[in-house]
Amino acid sequence: MENKDKVIKKDKLAIVVPCYNEEEVLKIASAALREVLDDLVQKEKIAEDSFILFVNDGSKDRTWELIEEEHAAYPVQVCGLKLAGNVGHQFALTAGLITAKDMSDVTISIDADLQDDVAVIEEMIDKFHAGNDIVYGVRKERKTDTFFKRTTAQGFYKLMELMGVKTVYNHADFRLMSKRAVEQFSQYKETNLFLRGMMPLIGYQTDKVYYDRKERVAGESKYPLKKMLALAFNGISSFSIKPISMILGLGLVIIFFCILAAVYALISYFTGSVVQGWTSLILSIWFLGGVQLLAIGLVGQYIGKIYMEVKQRPRYNIEKILSGEEE
């Protein structure tokens, strides 16, 4: 019975595409994604009224006009969401996902520039039907990448790991999320968004699909190095208070060294090979330095706790309850 229902009611897919000054790629992206939708509808994997949701992130060019044109030409398949100003990729994507969740059963987020392979969308849907709530698009290790790009990226993932931030290796923001996963995500009210770090907190069964990341179809990157570094710092500072603990640790280490230095200074003092006043001076410098770091680290621990508290993140996500009341 349940199976039959499933065949009749197919899942409605929403593909969410954040766009900032993407006039050069918009029509190409729209055509490519519509083709994917048509194909999946034809294979009866998604509902016929599945759609693409272009999110215009305060573009200064003709992006929004083009979205309007596409919507006029394909009223069901192409929808648009216009943000009042530029809020950045992570926020634009969040706006799109949260809007799309009320209009669909499952969402896939993808960049407008088609760097992520649209061909694996079908595999994502298959994995969704196999019971996964989140399917991460993971970029295969690319030999063609420049040495610089590869090492900086790997360094970034290693640093995140070291700082205790759980992320999916080589996954950007190309991912499938079920309606309930987006619903749970919308409970995270924090303003410092780092989606890649937040999604693994949701839980549920997840899987990955692998693809080769291509060059941009047209236009240029909207993510200069400055924005990338900001994202990386935001990722760490939004998820981890380890840097504060490190200060605390450093304070302790310095106080330990101070004890060693005290022994050394006293020996020097008694052997008489020092300038007058040096012993007390050097000891107070080390000791006070250590105490100060310790105190900063300690205060930091409390601030870190306040920081975590004010985020008001959900503390858990209940997937199922087995009880007597179940039918």
State the binding partner of 18 from Mg ion, ligand UDP, none, CB within 5 to 8 A by kind. ligand UDP
Size, binding site for Mg ion by CB under 5 A: 3
- What is the three-class DSSP state of 29? helix
**Contact set for Mg ion, span 99-138 (CB under 5 A):** 111, 113, 115
The Cα 67–Cα 17 span in angstroms is: 11
Helical pair 242-271 and 278-310, crossing angle rounded to 10 deg = 170
Which position among 30, 77, 115, 279 is part of the footprint of ligand UDP (CB under 6 A)? Answer: 115
Q: Which of 111, 116, 118 is nearest to 93 (CA)?
A: 111
**Contact set for ligand UDP, span 49-68 (CB under 6 A):** 57
Q: Mark residue 277 as left, alpha or beta (left: phi above 0; alpha: psi -120 to 50; beta: remaining).
A: left
Are the C-beta atoms of residues 216 and 273 closer than 8 Å to each other? no
Which position among 33, 36, 53, 112 is part of the footprint of ligand UDP (CB under 6 A)? Answer: 112
String of contacts with ligand UDP for each residue 20-49, x by CB under 6 A? x-x---------------------------
- Name all contacts of 315-324 with Cβ < 8 Å and 24+ positions apart: 317/184, 317/202, 317/203, 317/204, 319/203, 319/204
- In the block, which residue shows the tokens 């410092």? 192
Q: CB-wise, 18 or 251, nearer to ligand UDP?
A: 18
Stretch near ligand UDP under the rule CB under 6 A, chosen from 13-21, 162-170, 243-251, 315-323: 13-21
Which CA distances in Å does 237 have to 163, 272, 314?
Answer: 9, 50, 19
Q: Which of 32, 19, 205, 211 is nearest to 130 (CA)?
A: 205
Q: CB-wise, 23 or 105, nearer to ligand UDP?
A: 23
Q: CB-wise, 58 or 249, nearer to ligand UDP?
A: 58
**Contact set for ligand UDP, span 70-89 (CB under 6 A):** 86, 88-89
Q: CB-wise, 86 or 238, nearer to ligand UDP?
A: 86
Structure tokens at 26: 């918009």
Helix or strand holding residue 136 (H, E): strand 134-139
- What is the three-class DSSP state of 248? helix
Show Cβ contacts of residue 208 under 8 Å, excluding neighbours closer than 6 positions.
Answer: 135, 136, 137, 138, 168, 171
Provide the residue type at 298 as one letter: L
Verify binding: residue 118, ligand UDP, rule CB under 6 A. no
Q: CB-wise, 228 or 262, nearer to Mg ion?
A: 228
Stretch near ligand UDP under the rule CB under 6 A, chosen from 98-106, 108-116, 149-157, 194-202: 108-116
Least distance between ligand UDP and beta carbon 209 (Å): 18
Least distance between ligand UDP and beta carbon 22 (Å): 5
Which position among 33, 79, 81, 92 is part of the footprint of ligand UDP (CB under 6 A)? Answer: 92
Query: Backbone phi, then psi, for 312, in 5-degree steps?
Result: 50, 45
Q: CB-wise, 16 or 135, nearer to ligand UDP?
A: 16
Structure tokens at 260: 């060693």
Size, binding site for ligand UDP by CB under 6 A: 16
**Contact set for ligand UDP, span 209-268 (CB under 6 A):** 221-223
Q: CB-wise, 53 or 110, nearer to Mg ion?
A: 110
Least distance between ligand UDP and beta carbon 18 (Å): 3
The Cα 327–Cα 245 span in angstroms is: 50
Binding site for ligand UDP (CB under 6 A): 18-20, 22, 57, 86, 88-89, 92, 111-113, 115, 221-223
Binding site for Mg ion (CB under 5 A): 111, 113, 115
